[in-house]
Amino acid sequence: GNRFATWGYDAQGMAVLSEHAGGAEKTQVSYNADGSVSVTNALGHVQRYTYSRHNGMLKPDVVEGAPCTGFVGGKEPYVYDSKGLVSSIT
């Protein structure tokens, strides 16, 4: 059969690559020393996600970078309430 998609993982089992046949929609993931995650899409645009714990759960604090589907670009901080739910995205 024909390969539909490929996923790649690092030595720790963390996802680092996703792409469809022929390299379509290739997405690469990098885990940064500061705990943030950088995602590079097929167009070479990078979004950086910064996380911290809110009510015991690891959640994004800031998304920043180039525009992509669902994100207009720039810097988008998340604010959480005492229950750990998103109260605003500024």
C-alpha closest to that of 36 among 5, 70, 2, 63: 63
Confidence of residue 15 (pLDDT cuts 50, 70, 90): very high
pLDDT of residue 16: 98
Reported as a single tens digit per residue, the pLDDT across 18-39 is 999 988 999 999 999 999 999 9
Residues 6 or more apart from 33 whose CB is under 8 A from it?
none
pLDDT band at 1 (very low <50, low <70, confident <90, very high): confident
pLDDT score, position 53: 87
Predicted confidence (pLDDT) at residue 70 exceeds the cutoff of 70: no
Global pTM value: 0.77
The domain locations on the chain are 27-89
